[in-house]
Copies of this chain bind each other. A is one copy, B any other.
């Protein structure tokens, strides 16, 4: 794979993700229009390069001069964002060639995905003109790229994710946007995000090759409906997964979904089982849904390598953890995550710390009978971490009850113990914190934990699936 990825291609992608300048063609002075929002988003996100609004009407946006046409811009243009109607795109491509831009991405839609031969032909002509003009196209029918490190937000918005190791390639702009939103709350860090749309030129395999090369990307997530370069994608993937985990959510798995996908991106979806087999052979791990993909990227960033995943569970941080213990053990077992019984000695020691009445001491351990006792809580975690057969620890906490019964300061002190435990005992610790009535407080607790690298999940089932997915990668790629 590296063989085919030359220095010239790297340069091309660097102009996409680290552009010195971005021209927004179709810029508008009307704040309700996308052509305004693309410009405003770049400025308020703190994009590190120069923004050139372009519109024949001229004028000013946020104190930036609007250039009538691309060739009117003085400096070089690395990247063009296009949000003009589809009728005008071919003329624009001539200007792109004249201006020697690097890449253009088309927010503009209405091409291959309509099924209309006339517009399919226009899309093909677009690709031809790009080839002849020496530049590249992303899309059409996409929302382009985001690079938090460069201050490039996701789409026509000011949302910039935390800088981190995850790359994301999406055949749906909507799902890429949703991932950006989810990741803000959950503090998943991204190196690069690309919404690739109809892929008339640059395809899913091109972006995957670049992210495989990119030293800042450590793990790749993908949302695919049925890219036109799927054969090459699978081939590229086979090489990539030997070095970096690739987690794929395949949309249009069912006939109803495939019908929608065909209408959405013009995807000709192979059957779900063919895709599953191909992804498995390519060494990728298939996930089911955007949340599961986000969970898996988050877990990977928090814990990294995970070849074995016997789980120790601590629950009942405040009163009544018995039901939580049963649910947690069931949820893990259902996902193939072993909740191994504690050794007799550990049980005896837990009994000494927690007492017998109302306690569950088998794994899960329910610490509710020493509710709010920080020493007992820390000791219980220490005992679980010391079990040689346990590889990582999940703490289940009900923020509603925690704050109602123990108050915020004590709840925070308990979470400080949780956040510090991973390093202290040398085993990863994750937190499960289901939604309740105190959503603001729960998000604050989550933010506190994720801010120091502790992954937080809204349910044990979702934590267990993420753990199983990361483990799956390392089982497929041991050593």
Contacts and interface: CB of A to CB of B under 8 A. Distances in A.
A358 B110 contact: yes
Interface in A359-380: 360-364, 366
A177 B399 CA distance: 13
Interface in A184-205: 184-185
A404 interface: yes
Nearest to A360: B263
Contacts of A225: 326
A114 B259 CA distance: 56
A116 interface: yes
A339 interface: yes
Given A143-B320, A181-B400, A322-B264, A256 B339 contact: yes
A252 interface: yes
Given A256-B332, A439-B443, A178 B322 contact: no
Nearest to A323: B172
A177 B356 contact: no
Interface string A101-117: 00000000110011010
Interface in A211-262: 223, 225, 251-257, 259-261
Contacts of A171: 323
A256 B330 contact: yes
A296 interface: no
Interface in A318-350: 319-334, 338-339, 341
Contacts of A362: 259-260, 263
B358 A109 contact: yes
Interface in A66-124: 86, 109-110, 113-114, 116
A45 interface: no
B330 A253 contact: yes
Contact of A325 (B263, B326, B327, B366): B263
Contacts of A185: 435-437
A251 B357 contact: no
Contacts of A404: 157
A398 B176 CA distance: 13
A227 B174 CA distance: 47
A147 to B, nearest CB: 20
Contacts of A450: none
A423 interface: no
Contacts of A256: 329-330, 332-333, 338-339, 363
A472 interface: no
Given A174-B321, A259-B362, A356 B326 contact: no
A174 B320 contact: yes
Most buried by B among A323, A364, A401: A323
Given A260-B362, A333-B255, A357-B110, A326 B172 contact: yes
A393 B31 CA distance: 33
Nearest to A401: B177
Contact of A329 (B260, B334, B436): B260
Interface string A390-412: 00000000101100100000000
A230 to B, nearest CB: 16
Contacts of A358: 109-110, 113, 141
A444 to B, nearest CB: 11
Interface of A: 34, 86, 109-110, 113-114, 116, 141, 143, 157, 159, 170-175, 177-178, 181-182, 184-185, 223, 225, 251-257, 259-261, 263-265, 289-291, 316, 319-334, 338-339, 341, 356-358, 360-364, 366, 398, 400-401, 404, 434-437, 439-440, 443, 459, 461
The 6 closest A-B pairs by CB, nearest first: A172-B323, A254-B333, A110-B357, A257-B330, A264-B322, A256-B329
